[in-house]
Amino acid sequence: MDTIEKNKKEMLHRKVWAVVGATPDTEKFGYKIYKKLKAHGYTVYGINPKYEEIEGDKIYQSLKDLPQNLECVNMVVGPKVSKLILDEIKDLGIDYVWFQPGTFDEETIDKAEDFNLNIVYYDCVLVALGE
């Protein structure tokens, strides 16, 4: 089993997630992924400074504002934002990051690897959980 498959398996067993780029826009992946994780019994926190809530759930400004420690972060933002948030992830001691397609570039992946994070990329959490 390769590293990405191993990481994916481990992440799907972790139960406390944040979705960076969560949105109340039902057409967007930030909404679909947030709802899918919740529907599968995960504790999920939405992170997006543009919104206050999604269907009554509080949305947080940043990862450091969360009321509990995270096990996994799902990125649903552009590569520039993903790369910046990696610093916060490292500072908070979070080990697992799932980059949705389109949320990373080579620099972002290099930075995540430099931080020794367990990462998944080129893979969609919606597909992994069965749409």
38 versus 4: which is more confidently predicted?
Answer: 38
DSSP string for residues in 60-114: ESSGGG-SS--SEEEE-S-HHHHHHHHHHHHHHT--EEEEPTTS--HHHHHHHHH
pLDDT for position 131: 61
Question: What is the pLDDT at residue 4?
Answer: 86
Q: Would you tell me how many other CB atoms lie within 10 Å of the CB of residue 114?
A: 10
Whether 37 maps to a domain, the answer reads: yes
Note the pTM of the prediction, 2 decimals. 0.95
State the residue range of the domain holding 32: 3-122
3-state secondary structure at position 11: helix
- Which residue matches tokens 């759930």? 57
User: Over the stretch 51-97, which tens digit does the pLDDT of each residue have?
Assistant: 999 999 999 999 999 999 999 999 999 999 999 999 999 999 999 99
130 within some domain: no
Q: Would you place residue 99 in the very low, low, confident or very high pLDDT band (cuts 50, 70, 90)?
A: very high
Residue 53 · residue 59 · CB < 8 Å: yes
pLDDT greater than 80 at residue 111: yes
Question: Is 131 within a domain?
Answer: no
Is 127 contained in some domain? no
CATH number of domain containing 62: 3.40.50.720
Query: Strands 72-75, 96-99: parallel, antiparallel or unpaired by DSSP?
Result: parallel
Tens digits of per-residue pLDDT, 8-42?
999 999 999 999 999 999 999 999 999 999 999 99
Task: Output the pLDDT for position 130.
Answer: 86
Residue type, 75: M
Which pLDDT value is given to residue 57?
97
Count of domains for the chain = 1
Q: Which two tokens stand for residue 44?
A: 């999920």
Measured CA to CA, the distance from residue 98 to residue 125 in angstroms comes to 8
> Looking at the predicted structure, is the pLDDT value of residue 108 above 80?
yes
Do the domain assignments include residue 40?
Answer: yes
